[in-house]
Amino acid sequence: MLTKTEISDDQVAALLAPLGAVRRVAPLSGGLFASVVRADLADGRTVVVKVTGADTTRLLRYEHGVLGTEATVDRIAHAAGLPVPRVLHVDTTRAHVDGDALVTTFLAGDPWSTLELDDAAAARARRSLGSLMARLHRLTRDDLTRQDGAPDDGRRFGYPAPEAGLAAPTWPEAFAGMVRAALDDAARWGVDLPAARLLAAVDDHRDLLADVTTPRLVHADLWPGNLLLDPADRTVVGALDGERALWGDPVFELVGADQLGAGAVDPDLLAGYRDAGGDLGIGDGTPGSGDPDAWQRLRLYRAYFACLLVVEIVPRAYAGDWVAGHERTARANLLQMLDELGA
């Protein structure tokens, strides 16, 4: 099981010393392998401290270097005016904690996953999410180069963290590498998957993947647990946890927003995307509408994501009555996508 790094109030104070004195520390929900706290500073500011553990032995390949990815994504997206935290400090020295630390501003808002919304409010939230996605996808790999001044090494697509080693000059190369890494993780943890069928599907659709020629920023995890809504109008006012972001096809975003989805795409989300000037090629969200090539790419991404969901169960040591049903659904989605890709 993944073990979070324990951080004391004294360690938080040491990490935040460059920003000021700490008045109060309180824990926040931090997902599966990050420890997250809220800290109130003496000058009145509230910040968030996230620490990822130094032990990476139970991470999947694509998860290596995620804290650096989150910092990069937040910097680029915040500079573009998107509702993400502002990076205040990054500490990779491990002088104060056994892991890497990211400090950002605290975003106010109601966590979407904790709310019971009526139909009108839910539709408004989904349209707002679609608008946010369209704005996010205007950011390209060139925006990163312009912001940090680093030379472009040509590995423009895929996961940005060097630790993952899953970036490539083209989207077909990057995506194929991502799939192979997921299958390698499955073999490492003894998880049986239809590897040959998935690799064949990726190879058969290489030309469709090659249609993606501009590496756009994809958050890849915009589900309600990572979104904050305005208490009044229920529009999205915060997007958190960009640690799984990648440079690639905007269609991939639909998978992160509906991680167990295998059929139609939400029409309100797509309407919000179009209203913001974007077009994912998915039509009205009904399978068969829109561009058939975009739907085939979506099926590839859904198949890949289903693999991740199945494999991570073992290193995470998930437990509870929900696990068996979760795995069955993910496996069924994988097989459905492979059948549809081969039809």
Q: Which amino acid is at 255?
A: V
Please state, in angstroms and rounded to a whole number, the distance separating the CA atoms of residues 26 and 97: 17
* Average pLDDT score over residue span 102-119: 96
pLDDT of residue 40: 97
Which part of the chain has CATH 3.90.1200.10?
110-342
In the chain, beta strands by DSSP E:
22-28, 34-41, 46-53, 87-91, 99-105, 110-111, 157-158, 167-168, 216-218, 227-229, 236-239, 246-248
Look at the domain 9-105 and name its fold.
Answer: Phosphorylase Kinase; domain 1 (3.30.200)
Say yes or no to pLDDT of 4 above 80: no
pLDDT at 3: 57
Q: What share of the chain is helix, strand, coil (3-state, %, to 5)?
A: 45, 15, 40
Mean pLDDT of 264-279: 98
Assign 315 to helix, strand or coil.
helix
Look at residue 148 and tell me whether its pLDDT is greater than 70: no
pLDDT for res 55: 79
- Between CA 115 and CA 254 the distance in angstroms is 21
- pLDDT confidence of residue 182: 98
| Segment 306-329, tens digit of pLDDT | 999 999 999 999 999 999 999 999
CA dihedral 194, 195, 201, 205 (to 10 degrees): 150
- pLDDT at residue number 144: 75
Q: pLDDT of 153-183, one tens digit each?
A: 777 999 999 999 999 999 999 999 999 999 9
Residue 1 has pLDDT above 70, yes or no: no
Where in the chain is CATH 3.30.200.20? 9-105
The CATH architecture of the domain made up of 110-342 is Alpha-Beta Complex (3.90)
pLDDT in tens, 23-80: 999 998 756 678 899 999 999 999 999 998 777 888 999 999 999 999 999 999 999 9
Decide if pLDDT at 191 tops 90.
yes
Q: How confident is the model at residue 150 (pLDDT cuts 50, 70, 90)?
A: low
